[in-house]
Amino acid sequence: MSEIPQGVERDYPLERLTTIRVGGPADYFARPESAAELVELLAWAEAEGAAIGAVGSGSNLLVADEGFRGLVLKLAGELTRIEHEGLRVLCGGGARLPSAAAKAAGWGLTGLEFGVNIPGTVGGAVRMNANAYGGELAEVLEWVTVCTAAGAERRPPDQLGFRYRGSAIGERAVVAEASFLLAEAPAEQVKETMAEMRSKRKQAQPSGIKTFGSTFVNPDDPRAEGRSAGQLLDAAGARGLERGGARLSPKHANFVENAGEATTADVLAVMAAARRLVHDRFGVTLEPEVQVLGEVRWPEDWGLPA
Ligand SMILES: Cc1cc2nc3c(=O)[nH]c(=O)nc-3n(C[C@H](O)[C@H](O)[C@H](O)COP(=O)(O)OP(=O)(O)OC[C@H]3O[C@@H](n4cnc5c(N)ncnc54)[C@H](O)[C@@H]3O)c2cc1C
């Protein structure tokens, strides 16, 4: 391996960069502070044939217990900025979406309110096509800058391959910045809408727990009869299911919670057991929403049926 670029750390623990707080270390880890620095790091990884992983707020991320054999990038410096110019809000890919929503409200701009309940970064939200209470990321997104080993490129939303909880942004590409085109509205009114969204969310979801939010995506299967993943899990008796230190939240059946000293293996075990219950009861196979970093070992039962 060629000389490791400056600022790249070895064997970096990733657990504390995730909201569920499980998983092992990354072989290499860096916090690029500009698009140019990011491209340099991506080019180094490319030349070394190293895998690449981006971490935002780690709010939808499950890291393998064995960690990640490659370079993990967490955006910093100017890649976390939130600025506005007229109706445009320009954010670094590492900017926190709730902060961007709050700042936009303060500037008297509407359109980003939905971000108040999504505890991720702008880059993670673009990759995941995050959404809440009807707010559509793609509706307000003007363009993003995507960095790869080849350089930085500006792309409009229709070139990002958005789909339900996903996009076509590849594993070796990192969202470095995004521009949102919003509309004017009285700041007080926007703040009020956000406060309502927050309190609605507080009633529906557990707070103060170590979790990556929704575990499974809502199924597109007629046998689900329109029910969400959470409703199916509940009806199948999965709520509160425990494996090791991981359990399905007693308050929201689609949330896995690190209730103690959970490992990623515990999380995978609880996911597989819950998925089995839903499969056997309704014939529906739930698919994960959570993104995996590293080589995880799914329990044998993950393959279903039998
Ligand atoms: C309590 C709770 C509530 C939630 N509610 C919602 C909700 O209402 N709606 C919703 O959609 N989601 C929700 N989520 C899930 C999560 O917050 C979103 O998916 C969020 O967009 C993830 O952003 P992140 O920065 O945390 O990404 P991470 O979890 O760090 O990463 C997720 C994926 O995005 C990739 N990624 C991260 N940053 C970048 C980047 N800059 N460029 C390219 N790829 C990147 C990662 O490699 C990974 O594949 C919730 C999560 C929690 C814990």
**Model confidence, pTM:** 0.96
What would the mean pLDDT of 56-68 be, rounded to a whole number? 98
Catalytic residues: 165, 214, 289
163 CA from centroid of ligand 1 (Å)? 15
pLDDT of residue 245: 97
What would the mean pLDDT of 140-161 be, rounded to a whole number? 97
Q: Which residues contact 106 (CB under 8 A, 6 or more apart)?
A: 187, 191
pLDDT of residue 21: 98
The mean pLDDT value of the chain amounts to: 95
140/306: higher pLDDT = 140
CA dist 234 and 220 (Å) reads 18
What would the mean pLDDT of 8-37 be, rounded to a whole number? 98
**Assigned token pair, 302:** 């993950």
1 CA from centroid of ligand 1 (Å)? 32
Q: Which of 118, 141, 147, 203 to mutate to test the pocket of ligand 1 (most atoms within 8 A of CB)?
A: 118
Percent of the chain residues topping a pLDDT of 70: 100
* Closest to 156 measured CA to CA, from 142, 169, 170, 167: 142
What are the helix (H) ranges across the chain? 35-48, 97-106, 122-128, 137-140, 187-204, 229-235, 264-282
* Amino acid identity for residue 143 in this structure: W
- What is the set of domains in the chain, with CATH numbers? 9-77 (3.30.43.10), 78-202 (3.30.465.10), 207-303 (3.90.78.10)
Scanning the structure block, which residue is given the tokens 């070992």? 297
- Has residue 135 got a pLDDT over 80? no
The residue whose CA is least distant from atom 48 of ligand 1 is 291
SS3 171: coil
pLDDT category at 8 given cuts 50, 70, 90 is very high
**Assigned token pair, 277:** 């219950």
- Has residue 134 got a pLDDT over 80? no
Query: How confident is the model over 203-248, as pLDDT tens digits?
Result: 888 888 999 999 999 999 999 999 999 999 999 999 999 999 999 9
276 CA from centroid of ligand 1 (Å)? 25
CA dist 267 and 255 (Å) reads 11
SS3 69: strand
- Has residue 182 got a pLDDT over 70? yes
pLDDT of residue 1: 62
Query: How confident is the model over 250-276, as pLDDT tens digits?
Result: 989 999 999 989 999 999 999 999 999
What would the mean pLDDT of 92-119 be, rounded to a whole number? 97
Q: Which residues' Cβ are closer than 6 Å to ligand 1? A: 19, 53-61, 75, 93, 117-121, 123-125, 127-128, 130-132, 169, 174-175, 211-213, 291
305/85: higher pLDDT = 85
46 CA from centroid of ligand 1 (Å)? 24
**Assigned token pair, 119:** 């505890």
